Structure 1
């Protein structure tokens, strides 16, 4: 099955995708196995990321998990039956989706609860922002099953938490809680579990109502900054600011500031 052949709208699809008023939702949907990622789920994830990347009306992408967990990692039962081909197919699809999340203009928000482990932690780290419910538990987990990591974890962790802490998380495989994830900068906010959906929607709406061209350029500037020297980043900032200043949205933002009213951005 090809990624673009998957019915992402089906209620029983292992990965669901829909868009509502500029907010695209990618939801892992295997609640009976804590959303463990098998090949159909990975293919669905890639297809959903492709759909969001191609849809110019998407202002923000929210990634979440159905049931008691965000994602508990890869489906070990599937990999146990046929390790290498299963791992390659699963990783190829997941990595393709994660690359698209980084490339797309829309900000990506991860909404986390329950278990966030293995590849699930990778998906969370791939997002631009993350909000977590109290009680969420995090574990890189790979060392506990005798393998190295995937899903961008070895790239994102040292950039977020520093080399030494990344080594500890990766090499020891210990579980840590939402408060520690907040302290380390893995998540941006921790909220009561009962409020997670409401707070996720509130933050997503705020992003969706923001200036999409400016948000896209900010996302690109920040993501590319670690690969540039200072002068290169200054040049990129100057070019990006000039491009934004030529847009209708910039004029609207400035006018709204002086008129003391909310800006109404149209992405032009």
Structure 2
């Protein structure tokens, strides 16, 4: 891929210009929910193309009114069964790739960042949002627990009490409150969001590569040094819950737009 090409790969729109690799989740008909193939493609991209020498910054965004609403429950319910541990390993690979990428990662959030979509946004080094954006650990609403590292990413930013409110009650946190709580970098007017993210990306792309890399590494080590433990706990718990009757009921209720009737 050259500086003038753009490519669509498994629900992703990818382009590179001036050292900035822009990765847009392009599944607007599903509010950019990720199925297993698009999650694998995102992991491949972040572990491969994003680490090449001509990439100095990565920008993550969503197409059409949402950032990412998590896992695609319609795809999961209609397709062949996938081992829960494979699902978890695929999601964990993406989060790990964002955190360990030498280049800084920016998230541009417009609309919903829910479930693993919230994890993607919060794993970024700098997260910018429109006032309409919100962050939602929706897992408990379908009988699951937080994953994608969010059981660490959120409390590391906002503290245990606020994280417990988000995770246990499954209530959305609007962008303004998310910024006030220290969860995201900045809230910008909708008309200014893309231009501001582009300007920050350009500043970073023109900056000292090695100094930025070592700074990112140091900040991540200082604040998220137990991320592997968190991912392991989430994998164990979620692998159990993904096979549970409560998850089946929660997913069915969400797809039917009704309240779930949990039994356990």
**1:131 aligned counterpart, secondary structure:** strand
Shift of 1:84: 6.0
CA–CA distance in 1 between the matches of 2:83 and 2:10?
Answer: 19
Distance 2:224 2:13 in 1: 34
Q: Which of 87, 99, 104 in structure 1 is aligned with 2:101? A: 104
User: Which consecutive segments of 4 or more residues in structure 1 shift more than 6 A?
Assistant: none
1:204 aligned partner: 201
Q: Which of 1 and 2 has greater Rg?
A: 1
Equivalent of 2:89 in 92, 100, 103 = 92
Say if 2:134 is the partner of 1:137.
yes
1:167 aligns with 2:167: no
Partner of 2:33: 36
**Residues 1:149 and 2:146 are matched in the alignment:** yes
Residue 225 of structure 1, CA deviation: 1.8
Q: Which moved more, 1:81-90 or 1:205-214?
A: 81-90
Q: 2:183 aligns with which of 177, 183, 186?
A: 186
The verdict on how the C-alpha distance between 1:117 and 1:85 changes in structure 2, with shifts beyond 3 A counting, is same
Q: Secondary structure in 2 aligned to 1:187?
A: coil
SS of residue matched to 1:116: strand
Is there any run of 5+ residues in structure 2 with no aligned partner, and where? Answer: 226-264
**TM-score, normalising length: structure 2:** 0.78
CA gap of 1:35–1:184, structure 2 versus 1, over 3 A, is same
In 1, Cα distance between equivalents of 2:182 and 2:224 = 20
Q: Structure 1 regions of 5+ residues with no counterpart? A: 1-7, 229-268
Q: How does 1:254-265 map to 2 (within 5 A)?
A: none
- Conserved 8 A contact 2:24-2:63: yes
Give the total of aligned pairs: 221
2:58 is the counterpart of 1:61: yes
Shift of 1:86: 5.9
In 1, distance between residues paired with 2:172 and 2:36? 26
Question: Contact between 2:153 and 2:224, CA under 8 Å: does it hold in 1?
Answer: no
Q: CA RMSD in A?
A: 2.0
**120, 123, 129: which one pairs with 1:123?**
120
| CA displacement at 1:91 relative to structure 2 | 2.9
User: Larger relative contact order (C-alpha < 8 A, sep ≥ 6)?
Assistant: 2
SS of alignment partner, residue 106 of structure 2: strand
Deviations 1:147-204 (A, max 9, x none): 0121111121111111111111100011121101101112111111122211110111
Q: Is the 8 A contact 1:134 1:193 kept in 2?
A: yes
